[in-house]
Structure 1
Amino acid sequence: MKPQTFLFNVLLISPFSYAKQKISLQWAICDLSPQDTLAKLGHNALPSYKENPITYYDEYPPIHINSGLMFRTKTNKGQPLSTVKVRFPGAVTDLPDFVDCSWNQYGNNSPSFTCEKRCALDSTIWQEEQVRFAERYETIDWDALHAYGPYPNAKWKVRIKGYKTKFDDVVVGDLHLMEIEVKVLREEAHGALQTITKHLKKRNVVLCEPQQGKTMRLFRAMGYLDYKNEEL
């Protein structure tokens, strides 16, 4: 999936269905540690409610992330699983019926449309439907996928200005890949974005620049990516 061929048909959405859709608003946090962020938000001794490892996959050095393809393994509700994600610049048509899709937005960036296929993790990491889904967009050398991790991933539930948010931290050595996330109806997204962003800045929470997902930030911190040349 070369950048010049990464083109998709925009799906026209009626005003009613648009209003009913949810979007995940996310803020990449660059404080020194989660304890610093929690203290700024008034939660000095808040314990994490979940701590599960996460492993990211790409080639070595990574090449698929710049095309919007992401591979990882983690644990969800006690179930080890693998997931393949594809991030698009907008909603798309002609998707397989076995994937789950959602809207996402980092900071003031334009919203993106992400689809994923999760499977229970067993002796084979990547299952048939995951392979079929990823290879719709790019040829994958599955044997060349390199495991980055596992890394500890702690999560907290934090209420910000009336919104129920989740705060998580992926620890890679001395690096903390932190993120705050809230899911709201798309019609409420602008108000929620402005309200929470204003509150984070008022509390001196350090927002990363640029605002990006944890996988991008991880590979950039490792020296593999230059954000000025990144497509997504």
Structure 2
Amino acid sequence: MSGLGEWDTDAPIYDVEATSMADVDEETDEPLGAPDIVGERVAAEIDGLDLAAIAGGLVAATVTSEIHRQVKREVAPIVTEAVKGVLTPERLDALRQVAAAAAEAELSPPGEPEVVEDDVPTLYYGSVDEFVREFICPVFRRNVGEEGRADYRWSARWWESAEAITRLEALWRAWEHLRMDPSTGISVWLRDHADHHLGVLMSATGPWARSKDTAGPHEPLPYEAPPAGLFPDVRDA
């Protein structure tokens, strides 16, 4: 239809009056021409279809479905039997244990990690006294002495200064930690710890400013043992 109340002039029109009595079904009084037109159109549509392609697609889908069904029917028992052979009682117990552990970990809140003593590195030096005696004094050799004779200060009785003990203890603990880094650990210790704390301790305004202990640039720094028991070996604790 081209508009409201108008007929589409392109649509085929069946003229009932022009139809003869011979074109009318005697039993139904229906014109015989109309079904013929529909039949012709259906036939034309069918003739335009690729029947071979349609048939081929249906056959392929049917064959594929049948193959899957038969494979599943034949293979499933084989797989089931193989799984039974592999899943021994021991393996089933192991799977149960893993599943139980996973469930426990999921349901239990995380706690503090358990510290295994074997994972804690052993201290190389047992005390700050040992660290000073065996590392600081022989390694950091300086020309130390009284004011006016040398730029650096040092005291063989370093343990008489609370500041000196604190800074040397910090140096020792930092060294024990950073020595475990095989790449840049010692470099970091020298830059961030040794250069700073030794610079303060050995300066003309540090805790040993009035010390008269001397040593040449190629000699170990002066050392005097502290009172017995002042710095016990913590490795024995």
Question: Would the TM-score normalized by the shorter structure come out above 0.5?
Answer: no
TM-score scaled by length of structure 2: 0.21
Q: TM-score, normalised by structure 1?
A: 0.21
- Structure with greater proportional strand content: 1
